[in-house]
Amino acid sequence: MATEQLTARPPPKEATGRVGVRVFGYALPPSLWLIVLFGAPLGLLLWMSFQEYSITGIGGFTLDNYHAILTDASYLKFAWNTVLICTISMAVMLVIAMPIAYLLAFRVKARYELLLLLLFVLAGELNPLIRVYAWRMVLGREGVINYTLQTLGVINNPIDVLLFSKLAVIIVLSTTYIPYTTIPIYASLKAVEPDLLEAADDLGARFLTRFRKILLPLAAPGIFVAIIIVYIPMFSEFATPALVGGTSGSMIGNAIQEQVLELGNVGIGSAMSFLLLLLSAAVAFGGYRAARIKRLGTGA
């Protein structure tokens, strides 16, 4: 045969260079804005965390802010409360969000699917203060839950632990962020082919097996996104703990607010904010690694 073999030739260096310059030109403006609007404030926050503040002004470079945070038992208690409350709230939301996302992705008719998603978005956009005060009416000593239980004769005295406690903060945070946890998981499950589940069902796999072997690994990217947009922002919550948490449910956001706005100790507040940022980065990296392991386990 007198056919000629066509071989793919690499693009000339001039063309590659022009593409690189074009990409750089497109990326430069948003990169500069990112540096100005994010990098500069972050650098200022880091600088302020190493400054000594007093009633007379800034006293110079010091490590006392970080030393005080890492050695003071009260600050460590705030940090422990924050991690505990956020972790339990995130676990509760994942337990609730996974079945809801599954139903939306595979069991709800297509004509109702968009409507339910819109209702989820609207529920998440409700003013957070209105939501918190509504929960105070539900969880208070004279609230809906205590009134109902007393009317039915289940309890004789109101249950005080329902409000101004860690439990109250967990309940309010879990219901506040549940739409933002469900939607990313739903998006991941929506990409799963229904034939895959039907094949597993034909092979005799029960629901828990399908969930553990198919749905959970394929939903890992959505879970990772939920952790990024839900778990990390919860670390900085201060309004919800202040309104329903009391002294036992205070979080690190309340400590930062107290140091900066009430005591005027910007150095301690900045150091706590920067440590909170590092903790958030560690959580994001851990969630990314966990999601990647799950994906690798499925061969995706």
Domain contains 57: no
Domain contains 152: yes
Residue 257 and residue 238: Cα distance in Å, rounded? 8
The CATH number linked to 71 is 1.10.3720.10
Lowest model confidence (mean pLDDT) among 16-20, 31-35, 92-96, 251-255: 16-20
pLDDT of residue 281: 85
- The pTM (predicted TM-score) of the whole model is 0.82
Q: Is 300 helix (H, G, I), strand (E, B) or coil?
A: coil
Whether the CA torsion 217, 221, 222, 227 is positive or negative: it is positive
Given a cut of 90, whether residue 87 has pLDDT beyond it is: yes
Domain contains 29: no
pLDDT band (50, 70, 90) for residue 30 = confident
Residue 133 and residue 172: Cα distance in Å, rounded? 10
Domain enclosing residue 87, as ranges = 66-297
Looking at every residue in the chain, the average pLDDT score rounds to 84
Domain contains 225: yes
pLDDT tens digits, 153-212: 999 999 988 999 999 999 999 999 999 999 999 999 988 887 787 788 777 778 788 888
Domains identified in the chain, total number: 1
> If we measure between CA atoms, which residue out of 176, 21, 173, 149 comes closest to residue 82?
173
pLDDT tens digits, 231-242: 888 998 999 999
pLDDT band (50, 70, 90) for residue 263 = confident
pLDDT tens digits, 44-57: 999 999 998 766 66
Alpha-carbon separation of residue 17 from 9, 12, 14, 20, 21 (angstroms): 16, 9, 5, 5, 6
**Tokens 């996104």 map to which residue?**
225
Domain contains 6: no
